[in-house]
Amino acid sequence: MLQKEGQVRIPSGCAISGIFAKDGSRIPGDRIVTSIATMHDRSNGLGGGFAGYGIYPEYKELYAFHIFYDSLEAKSACESFLDRHFDVVNLSKIPTRRTPAIKDEPLIWRYFVRPLHTKLESSQLSEDEFTCRAVIKINDRISGAYVFSSGKNMGVFKAVGFPEDVGEFYRLEEYSGYSWTAHGRYPTNTPGWWGGAHPFALLDYSIVHNGEISSYDANRRQIEMYGYKCNLLTDTEVITYIFDFLLRKQKMTLREAAAVIAAPFWNTIEHMDEEEKALYTYLRTAFSNLLITGPFSILLGFSGGLMALNDRLKLRSMVVGEKGNMTYIASEECAIRIIEPELDSIRAPKGGEPVIVTLNSCAKGGM
């Protein structure tokens, strides 16, 4: 029988949440799990994940590789590659907890590494670029191996499942950091698999994303011209690489990168003062194929900060709350109120308006 209006609920699709402590205080991982679990109905169990910053202080100068393996053969091939290019200081399985809701898990390993001095010197690349190229090469050329986290003093934890089950599986209550992001997935065009869950990450940048971008193909073709490989065929992967390209390679500010991805309309630019008009005209013209169209709300995590951004028309919900040194961002207000009922302020940012929070100077000095 055909269901009528009101007899079935169509979810808005995906949930995102973020917590950030501007004073650098350490937030237990179970706080972000509580937040994202409130929006359970926005996902369908085909993907959940978290990114935490400041979680590996004892290895903060090393890149933390989190890697999925489909087989022992893939693990052997990947570790052979790592041994040839990196000094592997520590390696182990990522601790997990048996959870009935999480099934068919791959092999999940963690490596704390630094580029071998001789390899880095002969490459004539920066440490970040050397590591970035190595990650892309592993994901592109070693079948059955997927590096899903590769930053310093941060880590991504993701799986197929509801986010609260993913948090239990990875024992997130045992971690603490100054910044957390979370995602509950409701895939529309792609199947749920472990690598396709959010966050997507490259080096210190991580992305959680609610929405669907219609410019994927143009964005993918453009970003692959600069050496990136979009093997996962999802829009969130492309967004991650675009941010890495604009921020790390083009040395843009966060606001400039936001103005490329969620560029103002031409009629808005026309009414800006001359200096602003010149800047935004240049960004829209020079990076036109990196403009993201379609509905989206995203959280960009990075070392020392967090940025939230909506599409220009704000076709996806997102609210920002503040309490003292804490900033909370989520798809729904309830996900903030569940962990901080008494807020100093709460607001819904305008479409295309970046919300940027960073560690204060004292906290940065202690990192």
- The catalytically annotated residue of 14, 78, 132, 230 is 14
Cβ neighbour number for residue 278 with a 10 Å cutoff: 12
Backbone angles phi, psi at 94, to 5 degrees: -75, 125
Between the CA atoms of 158, 341, 354 and 157, what dihedral angle is there, to the nearest 10 degrees? Answer: -10
The angle at the Cα of 317, spanning 316 to 323, to the nearest 5 degrees, equals 145
Around Cβ 205, how many Cβ atoms within 10 Å? 24
Residues in Cβ contact with 197 at an 8 Å cutoff, skipping those fewer than 6 apart: 47, 48, 49, 158, 159, 160, 166, 183, 185
Side chain identity at residue 129, one-letter code: E
* Edge-to-edge strand ranges of the sheet holding 15-21: 154-159, 48-53, 179-184, 15-21, 326-330, 319-323, 345-347
Dihedral over Cα of 248, 250, 256, 261: its sign: negative
Structural contact between residues 115 and 152, judged by C-beta atoms closer than 8 angstroms: no
Total residue length of the chain: 367
CA distance 185 to 106: 19
| Amino acid letter, residue 233 | L
Active site residue 78: no
Amino acid (one-letter) located at 124: Q
Render 247-274 in DSSP notation, one character per residue.
IIIS---HHHHHHHHTPPPHHHHTTS-H
What is the separation of C-alpha 202 from the centre of its chain, rounded to a whole number of angstroms? 8
Name all contacts of 242-248 with Cβ < 8 Å and 24+ positions apart. Answer: 242/290, 242/292, 243/205, 243/207, 243/300, 244/132, 244/202, 244/203, 244/205, 245/290, 246/287, 246/290, 247/205, 247/302, 248/128, 248/203, 248/205
Q: Looking at the annotation, which residues are catalytic?
A: 14
